[in-house]
Amino acid sequence: MIDKDKLNAGNIYAVSKPAVILPTYNEQDNIKIITKNILSLNDRINIIIVDDNSPDGTGLTADALSKEYPERIYVIHRLKKEGLGTAYIDGFRFCIENGFDCIITMDADLSHDFNSIPVFLNEMEHYDFVIGSRYINGIRILNWDFKRLLLSQFANYYVRKIGGLPFTDATGGFNCFKVDVIKSININYMSSVGYSFLIELKFKAYKNNFTIKEIPITFSQRNAGISKLSKKVFLEAMFMVLKLRLRLIR
């Protein structure tokens, strides 16, 4: 159980203004639940929703939430679906311009347990980048079929062997890092637009010698909405890792 009084004591975190970036596309069934649960954790946590003009009305719901919590929820509207990577870049720019000192990336579909956020933030006292791992100290994935689990494990094995990253879960989307990490990386030259963006981000943070730690998280298959993963996304990640190894990406 999380002691919310302790969380709000004001001195538990090494960061003072953390932001959670939630890229959204057709997350109408999830956006209210995830945002209100995140806000309930700590009075200092803010949320940046980056919506890709969702046809299901996610953007309108996000605007309503922003009006309900005007000092804590911010919405970035994009004209069309442009990919996870560019959504995060827009969110990163917003965080830098508005003085946030710590960023959490996570999915808006409730597959990441929001209760892990305080654990990430506590680790910021000692590390620059904290990776949520589904595979450290055993497999913590709920409701995946064997084929998808095998594909994910192969992808992470490939990243370790080809990309040279020493992480058990380089492909996961639940991460936390100080804004200084983003400032050290020229986000205008990020090569990935899909899920491989997260691998590229970790690769560059690792090569820039930031202190990095993996912590165990539990991942659950989404209950509502439609998964954004595809064979095209998987192939993009595979080729991107190879380019990183061959130093074709700066």
List residues bridging with 76 in a β-sheet: 50
Query: If you average pLDDT over every residue of the chain, what do you get?
Result: 86
Rounded to whole angstroms, the Cα distance separating 202 from 96 reads: 18
pLDDT band at 163 (very low <50, low <70, confident <90, very high): confident
Question: How many CB atoms sit inside 10 A of residue 6's CB?
Answer: 11
The Cα–Cα gap between 70 and 26 comes to 22
Residue 202 near residue 133, CB atoms below 8 Å: no
**DSSP letter (8 states) at residue 236:** H
Q: Quick one: pLDDT band at residue 117, thresholds 50, 70, 90?
A: very high
- What pLDDT is attached to residue 124? 93
CATH number assigned to the domain covering 14-245: 3.90.550.10
- CA–CA distance, 184 with 181 (Å, rounded to integer): 5
- Between the two ends of the chain, the Cα-to-Cα distance in Å is 43
pTM beyond cutoff 0.85 = yes
| Confidence band, pLDDT 50/70/90 cuts, at residue 10 | very low
Task: Decide if pLDDT at 24 tops 50.
Answer: yes
pLDDT at 82: 87
With a pLDDT cut of 70, the percent of the chain lying above it is 84
Per-residue pLDDT reduced to its tens digit, 166-212: 999 998 999 999 999 999 998 888 877 777 889 899 999 999 999 99
